[in-house]
Amino acid sequence: MTAGRFQGKRVLVTGGTSGIGRATALAFAEAGADVVLSGRDEARGAEVVAAGAAMAGKLFFLAADLSDSKAVAPLVEAAAERLGGLDIAFNNAGFQERRASLAEQSPETYDQVFNMNLRAVFLAMQAEIKIMLANGGGVIVNNGSVSGLRNPNPGLALYCASKAALLSLTRSAAMEYAGQGVRINAVSPGRVETPMMMAAGVGDRAAVAASLPARRLGRPEEVSAAVLWLASEEASFVFGHNLCVDGGFLSA
């Protein structure tokens, strides 16, 4: 990674205490950005801040539970206040239900999935866009999923539907703000080894890895590299794109 690539940039990473969010927050800080990461677990947040203490950019943690709709805009506003503005946002916080057939899922689980994976991102984008428009522009990257495009494994219908809606929201917002200096895209991980994936019941990891053309699971750092590219000037002509980091899953 080029040192100083994001020097002076102000970044918000939601769901930044583990997995892809943690890797992305640290990658931005290593590249010179000042980063606010959010999450519900203060101990994990402190651990990420400590892990990046020697990096070029500064890391700050703000506790927030984005399943509470009333917490979303205040988080974005607090992050911008802490950083002195907002140039880049990675809307990463998400929730995946335990695997079960659709008829066995409850309305409460539906609300959990869609409140976190769609409503929270919608509310975050509203707040981020307002701040970025006032400051002359910015970049938003939403964390989607290949499950929003294709998922041959049963049991995650709600997650798949929420991510499909998120990708559609991303494209629509990208077209609305492309001419106003706010560039919006998505990254869609495939089978990446994260705590959320493990908690949802992935089953036999070796079998899952063997089913991919790459013959292995992905690493959070491989997704964070894609996020940083989408957020960089190297991707300045990329609008409304969904960059899949999936080990060949969608091509198989």
63-96: per-residue pLDDT in tens?
999 999 999 999 999 999 999 999 999 999 999 9
How many beta carbons lie within 10 A of that of residue 149, not counting itself? 17
pLDDT at 154: 83
Radius of gyration of the chain (CA): 17
Q: What is the pLDDT of residue 234?
A: 97
Locate 163 and state its tokens: 């991510």
- Say which residues have a Cβ less than 8 Å from residue 85's Cβ, sequence separation at least 6: 10, 131, 135
Residue 191 is predicted with a pLDDT of 84
> What pLDDT, on the 0 to 100 scale, is given for residue 68?
96
Please indicate whether residue 159 is annotated as part of the active site: yes
Q: Give the integer Cα–Cα distance in Å for 143 and 231.
A: 13
Q: What is the pLDDT of residue 45?
A: 98
The pairing of strands 182-189 and 88-91 is: unpaired
Distance (Å, rounded) from C-alpha 9 to C-alpha 28?
A: 9
State the pLDDT at residue 90: 98
Q: Which tens digits make up the pLDDT trace of 145-157?
A: 999 998 767 899 9
- Which residue in 60, 61, 159, 177 is the catalytic one? 159
The whole-angstrom separation of Cα 124 and Cα 77 is 10
Identity of the amino acid at 163: K
Query: Using an 8 Å Cβ cutoff, are 51 and 18 in contact?
Result: no
pLDDT for residue 197: 61
pLDDT tens track, the chain, 252 positions: 566 899 999 999 999 999 999 999 999 999 999 999 999 999 999 999 999 999 999 999 999 999 999 999 999 999 999 999 999 999 999 999 999 999 999 999 999 999 999 999 999 999 999 999 999 999 999 999 999 998 767 899 999 999 999 999 999 999 999 999 999 999 999 888 877 666 655 566 776 765 777 778 889 999 999 999 999 999 999 999 999 999 888 887
pLDDT at res. 212: 74
